[in-house]
Structures are given as structure tokens and as C-alpha cells.
Amino acid sequence: MAWWIVLLLCIGNSGAHVMDILNKSDPSLEESLLSLLQRLKLEEFYDTLLVYGGDCVLHSLSRRLDVSTVLVSSGSTNFDWNFSSLTLILSCDPDAEREVTYRTLMKLQRNRRLIYLQRNIQPKSVCNSYSQKEQHNVAMVREHFDKLGVIYACRYFEDPNFEKISLWDEKPIYIENFRNMHGKAIRTVADLLPPRSMIHLDAKSGDMQMMGYVANLINNYAQKVNATLQLEVLNNKFIVREILKMVENEQLDIGTTLDISLRTAILETSSYPYILTSYCLMLQVPAKLPYNMVYAMIVDRLVLGIIFALFCLLSILLIYSKKMSWQDLNLANILLNDKSLRGLLGQSFPFPSNAGKHLRLIFCILCFASIMMTTMYEAYLQSFFTNPPSESKIHSFQDIGKYQPKIAMPSIEIEALIKTNNSYFQEIQKDALIIFDNLPEYAKLRDAFNLNYSFVVTGDRWSAYAEQQELFKDPVFYFARDLCFSRLIYMSIPLRAHLPYRHLFEEHMMRQQEFGLVSHWRSHSFFDMVRLGLTPLKDLSRPKTISPSILLDDISWILKIYLAATVLSICCFLFEIGGEKWLRWRELRN
């Protein structure tokens, strides 16, 4: 009997436990929610549950799923949410989630949310309040979910703004709302720095449109997601700075400009890198030497030395092989050997009638050397007269301002270089810089190839200049690849921090890049600029008029050397005559 009592007590006790659990949560509701969570896991994997709010059925559910769970009963976490983003958010109440931390809000913006509606709250108002917070992946279930099996999923662009989906439907619960924006506006401002973005009026509709390799990307995106572009035009001299500020203040969705990685390390307000490029100096092509310096150019001291050594060697050999003895060898015979001299200069000289084998061989060497020398100098002189060599280029940042004009730089880029502690920039003397606050004015000077300045340019802008210079007779500027502030900077599109379709935009950007459209636009950018009348299709290099014939000035050096040599030989001649007279006069006196 006593055993029976103990047994009954035990059963009663565990029964009370079971009742306790059942009282807390309805078993069939829990089962159907569990199958909903499993379905969600199949649709898109999650490995973390984040449960907001006080006690509700979702809490006991999380224990039965094999995923890690974070309970946030207070409604907000006071730390940055650094965990992986494969998170499903469950809320016991529409108001349970009260996150305030900036980073956590950003990180959890796109995560899927499932909300348990307990009282008679309307799904419409819940969707509204979440979309105001720019959280669009929201679905709700009611208390009687087990009986009706209805899920309310928010649909931002539809009316009503939610959809009823049965648990057994094939339809996806969460959709990418922003794949079709139904004509909603994307706010943007173009920087109007060609060739990134250029405004023109459409011939057919008369609307303002933009083109350029940044503008096209944004145009195409708007077209792809069926949105309209709300394009503003600011006539501001700090245009890029202004756009970046507006994007930071969430006044714009996408800025039609490029933000360089040098400027900021924070990626919250910029996209994935759009363009990788270098950032270098754009210097003037050094001037050509004047024609009258050409002759001086080709008289190289080393070559002259070699020729002189050759001359002496040939003289010695000639002296020796004439009689096969050293008896005529003296300094005057070596230095004033007329056969060797005339031979090397390509002139005729007497050939001894009974020359031996050795002598003939040496004459052969002499003739060969003379052919080489005269043709070499002829070729040098003629090619340098057609295309004179250039003065030397600069190879270090310290030389800037000494040999080349001063560098014009926009202040926004200077600030970025100072902020990133750019060591090349620190090498430049401060008085070699001319600072421009007004970026469009700076761009205008650079576009006009103004010779009063040197410039800085990104490799990507340079490609359009290079294209333009193809038209010029002579290139005016060159891209100094050995004088770069950075060989790899990335440029990204400024995006609002809480932009809900950031991932779609970035995916679009990468696809355009992958397909080769971006490089196509970039290679065409110069001709687009010409088409819109932003740049003239003409030679801006101001070619110098070159007279077709050689002037006296061009050979002035040769004439001067000739004059000096003539004067010298007259002196020698006079000295010789005078010397003989003097000798004879001394003889007579004796």
C-alpha cells in the first residue's frame, strides 16, 4: 500500500510539472511556430536567434531549436552587435525592440524579424512603424497562429502594405522589397565633374539627364529597380564636399560622385570600391632642346676620348708598319699624323705604292673606322635635327617647383593627404603648392591643359586626358608614374548609412563592372565630353611654328667652332712663317 502511495505521489508530481509547462504555452501553437521557424531556416539559413521582449511563447521555442540564442528582455543591447549576421530576430511585441546603438542598428537593419502579436494590433500599423525605422524584412504571427496558420508579411511598396501568407503556401515570406521600387524616388546630386557625371537635356523629352561613368551606373540602377531619379543640381564650388556632407546627413540616398579612400577610413557612408586606381602627378612634357644645341649634344666627351685614343693607336701602327721599326716614333708624328687624321675624317690620303701586308691591313682598319664614325655622326645629326631630344624629366618630389611649374591641388585632396600622413606629400616644399578651394575651377584649369601649373590626377581621369592628347601634335602633359602619392587608391560611391538597398546597389555595381560596361564607359568618356560640348575637339597643345628650313642660328655652334679652328690655324701659319724668318735673321746676324 505504501509503495502505491509513493508511486501515485511521483506520478502526481510529474503530472503537475507537465501541467505547468502546458499552462505556460499552448503545445499546438508552439508546434506550429516551430515548423514556421524551421521553414524560415530552409528559406535562408540562420544560426543565431535574437529574442526581444519579456516572457512569451517565443522564449520556450528557442530552447527547442538547435541554435544559439540571445535574450534581450530589456529591449536594447548596450554593446555593439559584432556577431555574424545570420541572425533571426524574434520579438514578443511590436515595441519590444528598442535598439539605440548606431552600429547595432546598422548591422541588424536587414535581418529578418518575426513578431508575435498578442493583443488586437493591426499588422498595417506595425509594418508602418518598422518601415519608418527602415527595417523592411518583417513578418508577424498572431496568437491563434496554430488554428489559422496565417503569417502577415510586410510589403513596403504594395497597398495594403502587408500580405497574408499561409504556413503551407509556397510563397516566400520575406521578399527583397527593393527589387521593384514602383517608381519611388532615389535622391541624388551630381558633382558635374566630367567625365564622371555630366548633365544634358534629353532631345526627346526635354528632361535633364546625366551621363558619365558614375552617372550611368546610377541611371541603370534606377532603371533596373523601376525607380525614378530625383536629381538635384547644386551650383556650389565645394560640390564634392557638399555631396559627402548631404550623404552623411541622410539628405541623399546616393551621391553621384566618387569618394577616395584616402579621405576616410569609415565605410559606413560609402559603397564597395567602384574603381581602383593610382593617384599621381601630371607634369608637363619637358621642352625640346633648341636646334642650335643639337651639335653640342652629340659631341659626347667619352666618345671624343675614344676617338682620340683610336687616332693615336692608328698613328703608332702606321708609323711602325711603314718601316717595321720604331725609329720615326715621336710625339709630333703621332699627334699630327696626316694619314691617320684624314683617314678618320673620311678624306682621301696618299696610299704608298709598295705597301706591305701589314700596312694594307692597317689601312683597312682605318677605312672601316672612318666609315663607322662619319655615318654615326651623320645619323645622329640628322635625326636630332628632325626630332630634337628633350630636356630631362624630374624624378623626385623635392624637385617640384624647381624645374617644373608649381603644383595646383584642391584643398579637399590636400586635407586627405595630410590626414593619412602621406610621406610623399611631406617631401614637397610647401611653397611649390598652389591650393584651390574651388574644385570645379581647378578641374577647368586642368581640362584646359594650363601650362602655368602642374597638376595631380587619378589614373582613371588621366585615361581621358591621354585620349584627348592623341589629337595633339605633341603631348603637353605626361602621367608621372614614378611620382605617385599612392599607387592604389579605391574610389567608392557615397551611400547613405541606412540605405535599405545598399546590398542590391553593390551587387548591381559589381555586375556592371564584371560585364565590362564600366571600362567601356571610361574608354568612351572623352568622346562623350566632346558630344556634350564640354571639351573642344581641337589641339590645345599650342604647337610652336617651326620653320621648314635650317636657319643660320641653328648651326651657329658649328660656325663658331669653325671660326675658332680657322683662327687657330692662321695663328699656326703665321707662327711658322714668323719662326722661319726669325731663324734666318739670327743666322744672318751671326
Ligand X SMILES: *[C@@H]1O[C@H](CO)[C@@H](O)[C@H](O)[C@H]1NC(C)=O
Return residues touching ligand X (CB under 6 A).
20, 23, 79-80, 82, 180, 182-183, 226, 421, 423, 450-452
13 vs 82 by CB, closer to ligand X: 82
Q: Are strands 208-211 and 433-436 parallel, antiparallel or unpaired?
A: unpaired
Grid cell listed for 433? 603648392
Grid cell listed for 306? 675614344
Q: How far is the CB of 80 from ligand X (least distance, A)?
A: 4
Q: Are strands 208-211 and 198-201 parallel, antiparallel or unpaired?
A: antiparallel
Which residues are CB-neighbours of 244 under 8 A, at least 6 positions away? Answer: 255, 257, 259, 263, 269, 494
Q: How far is the CB of 23 from ligand X (least distance, A)?
A: 4
Grid cell listed for 489? 587608391
Q: How far is the CB of 403 from ligand X (least distance, A)?
A: 17
Q: How far is the CB of 158 from ligand X (least distance, A)?
A: 11
Q: How far is the CB of 160 from ligand X (least distance, A)?
A: 17
Ramachandran angles phi, psi of 347, nearest 5°: -100, 165
Four-CA torsion 107, 110, 113, 119, nearest 10 degrees: 100
Q: How far is the CB of 225 from ligand X (least distance, A)?
A: 9
Burial of 488 (0-12, 13-18, 19+ CB in 10 A): exposed
Q: How far is the CB of 83 from ligand X (least distance, A)?
A: 8
3 vs 79 by CB, closer to ligand X: 79
C-alpha separations of 332 from 207, 470, 567 in Å? 92, 59, 21
C-alpha separations of 529 from 194, 197, 239, 520 in Å? 7, 10, 20, 14
129 vs 226 by CB, closer to ligand X: 226
As a whole number of angstroms, the distance between CA 428 and CA 400 comes to 7
Q: How far is the CB of 227 from ligand X (least distance, A)?
A: 8
79 vs 168 by CB, closer to ligand X: 79
Task: Label residue 110 left, alpha or beta by phi (over 0 means left) and psi (-120 to 50 means alpha).
Answer: alpha
171 vs 182 by CB, closer to ligand X: 182
E strand or H helix at 275: strand 275-284
Question: Nearest-CA neighbor of 226 among 162, 157, 159, 274?
Answer: 157
Per the CB < 8 A criterion, the answer to whether 460 and 275 are in contact is yes
160 vs 183 by CB, closer to ligand X: 183
Ramachandran angles phi, psi of 200, nearest 5°: -150, 160
255 vs 500 by CB, closer to ligand X: 500
Q: How far is the CB of 405 from ligand X (least distance, A)?
A: 9
Q: How far is the CB of 431 from ligand X (least distance, A)?
A: 16
Residue for grid cell 555631396: 243
E strand or H helix at 188: strand 185-190
Q: Which residues pair with 456 in a beta bridge?
A: 281
Q: How far is the CB of 214 from ligand X (least distance, A)?
A: 24
Which residues are CB-neighbours of 332 under 8 A, at least 6 positions away? Answer: none
Sign of the Cα pseudo-torsion (525, 246, 111, 183, in order)? negative
182 vs 511 by CB, closer to ligand X: 182
Q: Which residue is nearest to ligand X (CB)?
A: 183
Question: Nearest-CA neighbor of 398 among 479, 284, 281, 278?
Answer: 281
As a whole number of angstroms, the distance between CA 168 and CA 32 comes to 11
196 vs 446 by CB, closer to ligand X: 446
Per the CB < 8 A criterion, the answer to whether 90 and 52 are in contact is yes
180 vs 411 by CB, closer to ligand X: 180
Q: How far is the CB of 77 from ligand X (least distance, A)?
A: 8
In single-letter form, the type of residue at position 415 comes to E
82 vs 348 by CB, closer to ligand X: 82
333 vs 450 by CB, closer to ligand X: 450
E strand or H helix at 485: strand 477-492
111 vs 525 by CB, closer to ligand X: 111
Q: How far is the CB of 261 from ligand X (least distance, A)?
A: 16
As a whole number of angstroms, the distance between CA 510 and CA 503 comes to 11
